[in-house]
């Protein structure tokens, strides 16, 4: 099956005709509602919150936020004028902005309690019209998302990666931005399988992402603290003094004779002709 | 563009990120309307600490109405539990334990932040001077690189939709 993401930029794919077709389809309405409700469940908000809906489209996801118990207030950002026009037409409660998440989100630090994105962020795996590459767009997006969430904030992004490579590219961009990240899969191994990226901003009591998704079926935990520790280990890089000292120590333990350490150990030598 | 949203938006241009002049964006040629949305005192009391009050005062002035100089003090209210919530569906903050005074303040905030909208106009960055257009309540935050290839205004006009065209009017707030 061909994916819309593989053929056209989002604002051209979601033109007037497609936006209306999308929004009026009862099949689409019910799938988007189910996924938004799942995202809300994962956000686990106990009080009326201020939420950003990224790639809000015509407001099918946002409406669920308005109608939730307790009801939430949301702001929607989307790149397709046609989708936003349909949202206006349907008189959604959220305030709407035309914007490209790949350019970064234009909000001040600590604005939102939470963010959701339903079926949108896989679009970031394409270059934009200016030829800006996906990695740059993904990091602009996640960096700005991290900044505009409150210190104990959370985000849930349901997305449709083309393959595992895209999935991993998206997840690692989120982790790089500083998020604690968990990946949840509903209905795995079926054609209805749904992926949710659960992101937390490290605040008090929110440090452990594993707590958010643990015990749920099919959960894979990406923990950036683990990553950071691995990175620190790797930092004893080949060729550095720390690395050489470690190596020497290992060799010594094996009973080998190694050169005595000196202040010259690990220094670059002058180029020899 | 609601005043609520304007209180959290800053200029999207990278060079402006570190400039204090890039927030708040300044309204220009604004046409106002009011749109009724459900009153949610719990949300408002949750938001209040996060509001940049001086910025809200500035925005309000630009739109032609005045707010108190300093941020009002409202006790944080929380969602009533199912058991204690009034059965008649009374959603006033008072029923959730807020004082008379707080209730008045929250109603005022609701009107200003949630129900006042800029339908047409611009938001201008005080640092780089970039103008973000607002059309049919939607602010265009696509950066210039993008505007070269897309004409948002033309395309939104093509949809033939008209919003608030009839009930647009200048709002007057007396607080
Ligand atoms: C499948 S629709 C989902 C809309 C809505 N969240 C829902 O659940 O119905 C995907 C949306 O993502 C938007 N989108 C794609 N790329 C985007 C970008 N770079 N910035 C903002 N929105 C984008 C599209 O315009 C489209 O409205
Ligand atoms: Zn600027």
ipTM at complex level? 0.79
Whether residues B95 and B48 share a domain: the answer is: yes
A230-234, B15-19, B143-147, B148-152: least confident range:
B148-152
Whether residues A153 and A262 share a domain: the answer is: no
The arithmetic mean of pLDDT across residues B61-68, rounded, is 96
Encoded tokens for A251: 């060799």
Residue B8 has pLDDT above 50, yes or no: yes
Residue A100 Cβ < 6 Å to ligand 1: yes
A72-86, B11-25, B58-72, B151-165: least confident range:
B151-165
Whether residues A228 and A243 share a domain: the answer is: no
Whether residues A162 and A251 share a domain: the answer is: no
- A146 band by pLDDT with thresholds 50, 70 and 90: very high
* A257 phi, psi to nearest 5 deg: -95, 125
Whether residues B123 and B163 share a domain: the answer is: no
Buried b / exposed e over A229-249, threshold 16 CB at 10 Å, is eeeeeeeeeeeeeeebeeebe
* Sheet containing A180-186, strands listed edge to edge, beginning at the edge strand earlier in sequence: A219-222, A180-186, A194-200, A149-159, A112-118, A50-54, A73-78, A95-98, B138-140, B131-135, B116-124, B26-34
Domain that holds residue A71: 4-233
Instruction: Specify the pTM.
Output: 0.81
- B168 band by pLDDT with thresholds 50, 70 and 90: very low
Say which CATH number the domain at A117 has: 3.40.50.150
- A217 band by pLDDT with thresholds 50, 70 and 90: very low
Whether residues A145 and A223 share a domain: the answer is: yes
Contact list, B10 vs chain A (CB under 8 Å) = 106-108
Question: Please, which residues bridge with residue A200 across strands?
Answer: A154, A180
Residue A125 has pLDDT above 80, yes or no: yes
Whether residues B109 and B25 share a domain: the answer is: yes
Domain that holds residue B161: 144-175
Whether residues A61 and A130 share a domain: the answer is: yes
Structural domains counted in chain A: 2
Residue B131 has pLDDT above 50, yes or no: yes
Q: Are A40 and A154 in contact (CB under 8 A)?
A: no
Return d(Cα A154, Cα A152) in angstroms, integer.
7
* A21 phi, psi to nearest 5 deg: -60, -45
Whether residues A51 and A94 share a domain: the answer is: yes
Whether residues B148 and B114 share a domain: the answer is: no
Q: Which residue has the higher pLDDT, A96 or A215?
A: A96
Average pLDDT for chain B = 79
Whether residues A161 and A266 share a domain: the answer is: no
**What three-state secondary structure class fits A19?**
helix
pLDDT digits (tens, 9 = 90+) for A46-101: 999 999 999 999 999 999 999 999 999 999 999 999 999 999 999 999 999 999 99
Whether residues B67 and B20 share a domain: the answer is: yes
Bridge-based pairing of strands A95-98 and A73-78 is parallel
Chain B interface residues (partner A, CB cutoff 8 A): 1-2, 4-5, 8-12, 14, 23, 37-38, 40, 42-43, 46-47, 50, 52, 78-79, 114, 117, 136-143, 145-146, 149-150, 152, 155-156, 158-159, 161, 163
The arithmetic mean of pLDDT across residues B142-171, rounded, is 38
Q: Are A83 and A14 in contact (CB under 8 A)?
A: yes
Say which CATH number the domain at B45 has: 2.20.25.10
Residue where one domain finishes, among candidates A202, A218, A233: A233
Q: Are A32 and A65 in contact (CB under 8 A)?
A: no
Whether residues B86 and B163 share a domain: the answer is: no
Return d(Cα A16, Cα A139) in angstroms, integer.
30
Return d(Cα A110, Cα A152) in angstroms, integer.
9
Residue A237 confidence (pLDDT): 56
Whether residues B149 and B103 share a domain: the answer is: no
Whether residues A152 and A261 share a domain: the answer is: no
Average pLDDT for chain A = 85
Whether residues B29 and B96 share a domain: the answer is: yes
Whether residues A222 and A251 share a domain: the answer is: no
Residue B22 confidence (pLDDT): 95
DSSP-assigned states of every residue in B37-88: ----HHHHHHHGGG--HHHHHHHHHHTT----SSPPP-----PPPTTTS-TT
Whether residues A142 and A39 share a domain: the answer is: yes
Whether residues A98 and A208 share a domain: the answer is: yes
Q: Which residue has the higher pLDDT, A178 or A219?
A: A178
Structural domains counted in chain B: 2
Residue A78 Cβ < 6 Å to ligand 1: yes
Contacts with B, A 38-97, CB within 8 Å: 46-50, 66, 70-73, 75, 77, 79, 81-82, 84-85, 88-89, 93, 95-97
Contact list, A82 vs chain B (CB under 8 Å) = 155, 159
Residue A128 confidence (pLDDT): 75
Whether residues A226 and A262 share a domain: the answer is: no
pLDDT digits (tens, 9 = 90+) for A186-201: 999 888 899 999 999 9
The arithmetic mean of pLDDT across residues A120-124, rounded, is 97
The arithmetic mean of pLDDT across residues B20-25, rounded, is 96
Whether residues B96 and B118 share a domain: the answer is: yes
């Amino acid at each position: 099956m061909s994916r819309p993401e593989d053929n056209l930029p989002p604002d051209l794919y979601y033109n007037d005709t497609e936006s209306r077709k999308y929004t009026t389809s009862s099949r689409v309405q019910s799938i988007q509602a189910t996924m938004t409700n799942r995202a809300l469940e994962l956000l686990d908000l106990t009080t009326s919150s201020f939420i950003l809906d990224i790639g809000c489209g015509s407001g099918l996801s946002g409406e669920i936020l308005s109608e939730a118990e307790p009801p939430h207030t949301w702001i929607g950002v989307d790149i397709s004028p046609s989708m936003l026009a349909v949202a206006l037409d349907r008189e959604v409660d959220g305030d709407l902005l035309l914007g490209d998440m790949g350019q970064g989100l234009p909000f001040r630090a600590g604005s939102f309690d939470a963010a959701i994105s339903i079926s949108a962020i896989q679009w970031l795996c394409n270059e934009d019209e200016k030829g800006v590459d996906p990695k740059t767009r993904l990091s602009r997006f996640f960096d700005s998302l991290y900044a505009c969430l409150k210190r104990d904030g959370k985000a849930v992004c349901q997305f449709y990666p083309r393959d595992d490579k895209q999935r991993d590219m998206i997840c690692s961009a989120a982790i790089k931005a500083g998020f604690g990240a968990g990946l949840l899969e509903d209905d795995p191994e079926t054609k209805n399988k749904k992926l949710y990226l659960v992101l937390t901003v490290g605040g008090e009591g929110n440090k452990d992402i594993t707590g958010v998704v643990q015990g749920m079926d099919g959960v894979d935990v990406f923990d950036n603290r683990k990553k950071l520790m691995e990175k620190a280990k790797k930092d004893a890089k080949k060729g550095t003094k720390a690395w050489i000292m470690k190596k020497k120590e290992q060799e010594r333990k094996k009973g080998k004779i190694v050169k005595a350490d000196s202040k010259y150990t690990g220094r670059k030598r002058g180029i020899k002709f | 563009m609601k005043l609520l949203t304007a209180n959290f938006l800053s200029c999207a241009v990278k060079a402006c990120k570190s400039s204090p002049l890039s927030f708040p964006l300044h309204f220009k040629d604004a046409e106002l309307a009011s749109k009724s949305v459900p009153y949610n005192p719990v949300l408002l009391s949750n938001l209040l600490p996060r509001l940049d009050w001086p910025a809200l005062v500035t925005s309000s002035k630009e739109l032609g109405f005045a707010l108190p100089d300093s941020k009002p003090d409202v006790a944080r209210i929380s969602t009533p539990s199912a058991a204690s919530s009034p059965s008649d569906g009374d959603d006033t903050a008072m029923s959730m334990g807020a004082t008379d005074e707080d209730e008045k303040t929250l109603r005022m905030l609701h009107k200003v932040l949630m129900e006042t909208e800029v339908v047409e106009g611009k938001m201008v960055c005080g640092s780089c001077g970039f103008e973000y257009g607002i059309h049919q309540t939607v602010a265009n935050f696509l950066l210039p690189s993008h505007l070269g290839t897309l004409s948002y205004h033309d395309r939104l006009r093509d949809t033939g939709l008209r919003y608030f065209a009839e009930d647009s009017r200048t709002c007057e707030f007396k607080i």
